[in-house]
Amino acid sequence: AEARETYSAARPNSAAIHAKARAVMPGGNTRTVLFYTPFPTAMTRGEGARLWDADGREYLDLCGEYTAGLFGHSETRILDAVKAAMDRGINLAAVGENEGRLAALICGRFPSVDQVRFTNSGTEANIMALAGARGFTGRTEVLAFRGGYHGGVFTFPVGTPVSPVNLPIPMRFADFNDPDGAARTIREAGEALAAVIVEPMQGSSGCIPATREFLQALREATRETGALLIFDEVMTSRHGFGGLQQRLGITPDMTTFGKYMAGGMSFGAFGGRAEVMAVFDGHRAGAMPHAGTFNNNVLSMAAGCVALGEIFDETAAEALYARGERLRDALNAACARHGVAMHFTGVGSMMTPHFRPGPVTAPYKASIEEEQMRELFFFDMLAAGMYLARRGMVALMLPVTDADCERFFAAVEEFCAARKPVL
Ligand code: PLP
């Protein structure tokens, strides 16, 4: 309560923005993930890895727009590409050159992706990948994992058996990181199952990496039954030049993308083996439709070509991955030194604290005490000038420096010393 009061007193302008929005928007926001009580901080400006809120407070941006902000807030090459595209007209109602370029850049990075199509978001990419898988296999059911998040309509928190949206897809569920259970479910479903969709690291449920053994079991069982294996790499494709699939050495049939790939502009994409993607080929009779006014948004396509073609190359991807690994190792060493019930999980540049001792290898429903500690952590970090996702997730952006990581490390140490999270 005290942390909330201090928070509110320092942010009168954010409070006023929230109060006005609340009259015309339920909860005063249009993204559930950005909402928290008493009111969310409203940001007014960003530059590099810094943000400024409506009350003039400065933050180190460790949220990185939930992984979409990889390049920072003012990457000049991306800004130039967007401005140049705007100067040539925004909505041209025609195919352009850049979508083919961006598609080639993606196919060049991901050996499992022969062909790709674009959407406006990761959510849509998953919808279309599942549609494609069902079209290709002629089957209907889909297997997803408890704790999985594949977009607003595909939210499967632990303890809640179904998505909040009534999906028109018959779904089955299995436990994440349980290779035997998942393989059994796939075999039991047999020829009813069109696809298995999985995050190679569950992001939303707390940056929980899938084990290679688990993904390998999915690969083998789907190969046996003919279901397609879809990797949702909307968040994780940043973990290597060819995504987390390359790092793990496992080849899915289809992959979905989103977030940073269009330099921070709205984006989604789904792709895979040519024979699968051929279901969308309009040259063929009976091709599946995949329309969408903004699918080839000229700003996203232009920004994406620069983001992937000129900035986020193999060297940049590896350096970012290594910086994240170093930071997470240091944080976990500090948690152990302080003897607290706190542990960071993740892969490379993404990490989330859990207020229980590690290792954390599966999603779980947090206790009230854990939720309270998570909230305290969030407000303490804000007070220290660090902007994180409300659930504590950190997604490092390219302009975050080692000195920035050291500042965060010092703030976490202070939190451990002051709040002493115990179970
Ligand atoms: N899939 C995963 C793994 C995600 O983390 C997200 C978003 O956080 C999505 C899909 C949905 O992407 P979008 O928010 O662009 O619809």
Ligand 1 centroid to Cα of residue 122, in Å, is 5
Closest atom of ligand 1 relative to the 123 alpha carbon: 16
User: 7 CA to middle of ligand 1, Å?
Assistant: 29
Q: Which among 259, 265, 295 is the best mutation to test ligand 1's pocket, defined by most ligand atoms within 8 Å of the CB?
A: 259
Report CA-CA distances (Å) from 45 to 48, 64, 203, 238, 263: 10, 14, 26, 25, 17
Rounded to an integer, what distance in angstroms lies between the CA atom of residue 45 and that of residue 31? 18
Residues with a known catalytic role? 149, 232, 259
CATH of the domain spanning 76-311, picked from 3.40.50.1470, 3.30.750.24, 3.30.420.40, 3.40.640.10 = 3.40.640.10
CA torsion 36→42→46→51, rounded to 10°? Answer: -60
Give 157's pLDDT tier (boundaries 50, 70, 90). Answer: confident
Mean pLDDT over the full length of the chain: 96
**Domains 2-70+314-419 and 76-311 are alike in CATH topology:** no
200 C-alpha to center of ligand 1: Å?
A: 13
Spell out the domain ranges in the chain: 2-70+314-419, 76-311
The answer to whether domain 2-70+314-419 has CATH 3.20.20.70 is no
Query: Going by CA atoms, what residue is nearest to atom 9 of ligand 1?
Result: 151
Which tens digits make up the pLDDT trace of 80-108?
A: 999 999 999 998 999 999 999 999 999 99
Residue located nearest, by CA, to atom 6 of ligand 1: 151
Reply yes or no on whether the pLDDT at 153 is more than 90: no
CA 66 / ligand 1 centre spacing (Å):
9
What distance in angstroms lies between residue 147's CA and the mean position of ligand 1's atoms?
13
Helices (H), 46-75: none
CB 258 within 8 A of CB 122: yes
Atom in ligand 1 nearest the alpha carbon of residue 122? 12
Interface predicted TM-score (ipTM) of this complex, two decimals? 0.99
Is pLDDT of 165 > 90? no
Question: Helix, strand, coil proportions of the chain in percent (round to 5)?
Answer: 45, 15, 40
In ligand 1, the atom with minimum distance to the C-alpha of 126 is 10
Pocket test for ligand 1, best of 123, 236, 265 (most atoms within 8 A of CB): 123
pLDDT value at residue 399: 98
* Structure tokens, 151: 């977009």
Q: Which residue owns the Cα nearest ligand 1 atom 13?
A: 122
Give the tens place of pLDDT for each residue, 171-223: 999 999 999 999 999 999 999 999 999 999 999 999 999 999 999 999 999 99
